[in-house]
Amino acid sequence: MIKNDSRTGHYAALAILPLTLADATWRLVDNEFSVWGGAIIALVLRWTAAFLLVRGIHPAVSISLRTGESAGLAIIKIFIVLNIASLLRGILDISDYWDLRYIALDFCFTVVAPLAAFSVNSWVASRALSSFIKLIPFYFIALPFSLDNNTELFPRVVAPVSLLVLFASYRSRQAVVATVGVALISLLLDISYRTNDVRIVFSLAVAVGGALGLFYGALGPIRKGVFAFALASIFLAPLVFLSLGVSGRYNVFDPPSTTATEASITLFGKEPKAPLDADSRTFLYEEVFASMIRRDESFIFGGGAGSGYDSIAFSDTFLNNRGRIATEVGFLNVLMSSGLLAVLLYFAVLLVASVRGVFQSRNSLARMIGFFVAIRWVIFFFEDIPAFDLNQLSIWFSIGLCMSRKFCEMSECELRETFGYNISK
């Protein structure tokens, strides 16, 4: 088992570099590369990262499928099978370059990324997170490009930092300063990037709660009740707001207000300004729902990978015969490709992982990661696009940790020995 863990951790760590470069390349496509050139570079890098990850996790996945621990991962298996079915449907319907590019560069990796959950344990995670920390100085190379071209570039390539801050209590002071510093720069670089605001602020709040002992020790009835209420609120809120929005009673993306709240943060001479309460999601929901109804596509099973939707808002951009091939919202993309069945499976994966992490663990780190997993259900309704990037990899790593019996049963001392040593070196 140690040999397999070593191999898995080694390849998982190696996969981080090409995946980081792929993220950076993809964000610069419209500015520094031609559409074709940027797509080819990103494609090669993503497939390289996928090869390294699959090569490393193969032994761990094989063991997981043969052991009792796989019972907790059964939902993920079904989710992967459903994605494979949607992928095959999309491949059969390929009609042009844009269909092929979307499937080869994006959708096919919805099968690869979830596999990470099968192989993650404390040792593998420590190796992967250690590699990320060692690469932090190189991430700052992306800052000039982010300031000049795309302020979302830097926050996206350092997306795992929202998970890393949860490990603050288990690492050296230098590692904590570096991690929190990167998180704050990512946040302040473009405060109008609201998805990143939610990720960073929520993780920092949970990390502070962990430092104050909120998640430490055995859970008494009061804390169990509070945690249960918090998780229930997180998982029910998107469903309630979706119902209210569809019925026309309340739009959470466009709440009643008389003034627009603007962000004006100066950092490194950059002054990004954008309304924090700007509604950039309602029209996406309206167009996707209307398009699926008009095309008579199944809301249960979706239309397959790259089914696309009819868009009026993006009519001045390139659209192929399927319309616009994807949106900026994870929920809508999954709904279009694999239907409500896949959405419910993803909901079940996040719910089971967060419940296990919060209520069936002996350590505070698993509980914090459980809440980190839960909040991804909320973010899923306004971003968190299923793809093969550092953000998605950190999500599936977190899910794998929460579903790992060994990780959840580790004591605080064992966690400090594992993460404090491996990550700080």
| Residue ranges per structural domain of the chain | 2-424
With a cut of 80, say whether residue 120 has pLDDT above it.
no
Considering only 32-36, 87-91, 93-97, 357-361, which range has the smallest mean pLDDT?
A: 32-36
d(CA 141, CA 350): 34
With a cut of 90, say whether residue 81 has pLDDT above it.
yes
Of the pLDDT bands very low, low, confident and very high (cuts 50, 70, 90), residue 67 is: very low
Of the pLDDT bands very low, low, confident and very high (cuts 50, 70, 90), residue 373 is: very high
Question: Could you tell me how far CA 41 lies from the centroid of its own chain?
Answer: 22
> What per-residue confidence (pLDDT) applies to 208?
94
> What per-residue confidence (pLDDT) applies to 397?
87
With a cut of 70, say whether residue 422 has pLDDT above it.
no
> What per-residue confidence (pLDDT) applies to 129?
67
With a cut of 60, say whether residue 68 has pLDDT above it.
no
Which amino acid makes up residue 385? I
Altogether, the residues listed in the chain come to a count of: 425
> Could you give the C-alpha distances from 373 to 15, 163, 396, in angstroms and in order?
22, 10, 9
Of the pLDDT bands very low, low, confident and very high (cuts 50, 70, 90), residue 7 is: low
d(CA 7, CA 23): 25
Q: Which range scores top for mean pLDDT: 35-44, 56-65, 135-144, 351-360?
A: 351-360
| Mean pLDDT on 241-257 | 88
| Mean pLDDT on 190-216 | 92
d(CA 172, CA 333): 40
pTM reported for the whole predicted model: 0.89
| Mean pLDDT on 107-127 | 75
Neighbours of 141 (CB within 10 A): 12
> What per-residue confidence (pLDDT) applies to 243?
95
* Structure tokens given for 253: 């993306």
With a cut of 90, say whether residue 90 has pLDDT above it.
yes
Considering only 72-76, 164-168, 236-240, 256-260, which range has the smallest mean pLDDT?
A: 256-260
> Could you give the C-alpha distances from 80 to 76, 100, 205, 270, 320, in angstroms and in order?
6, 20, 32, 42, 28
20 and 139 Cβ atoms separated by less than 8 Å? yes
| Mean pLDDT on 22-39 | 65
Give the residues across from 273 on adjacent strands: 264
* Structure tokens given for 132: 């990320």
> What per-residue confidence (pLDDT) applies to 271?
52
Of the pLDDT bands very low, low, confident and very high (cuts 50, 70, 90), residue 65 is: very low
> What per-residue confidence (pLDDT) applies to 266?
44
> What per-residue confidence (pLDDT) applies to 318?
59
> What per-residue confidence (pLDDT) applies to 3?
46
With a cut of 80, say whether residue 320 has pLDDT above it.
no
> What per-residue confidence (pLDDT) applies to 4?
47
> What per-residue confidence (pLDDT) applies to 305?
93
State the chain's mean pLDDT as an integer.
82
189 vs 359, higher pLDDT = 359
Of the pLDDT bands very low, low, confident and very high (cuts 50, 70, 90), residue 163 is: very high
Burial class (CB in 10 A: 0-12, 13-18, 19+), 237: middle
> What per-residue confidence (pLDDT) applies to 278?
79
> What per-residue confidence (pLDDT) applies to 424?
41
3-state secondary structure the chain: CHHHHHHHHHHHHHHHHHHHHHHHHHHHHHHHCCHHHHHHHHHHHHHHHHHHHHHHHHHHHHHHHHCHHHHHHHHHHHHHHHHHHHHHHHHHCCCCHHHHHHHHHHHCHHHHHHHHHHHCCHHHHHHHHHHHHHCHHHHCCHHHHHHHCCCCHHHHHCCCHHHHHHHHHHCCHHHHHHHHHHHHHHHHHCCCCHHHHHHHHHHHHHHHHHHCCCCCCCCCHHHHHHHHHHHHHHHHHHHHHHHHHHCCCCCCCCCCCCCCCEEECCECCECCEEECCCCCCHHHHHHHHHHHHHCCCCCCCCCCCCCCECCCCCCCCCCECCEECCCCCHHHHHHHHHHHHHHHHHHHHHHHHHHHHHHCCCCHHHHHHHHHHHHHHHHCCCCCCCCCCHHHHHHHHHHHHHHCHHHHCCCHHHHHHHHHHHHHC
d(CA 258, CA 251): 15
Q: In this structure, what is the dihedral angle of CA atoms 141, 142, 145, 149, given to the nearest 10 degrees?
A: -170
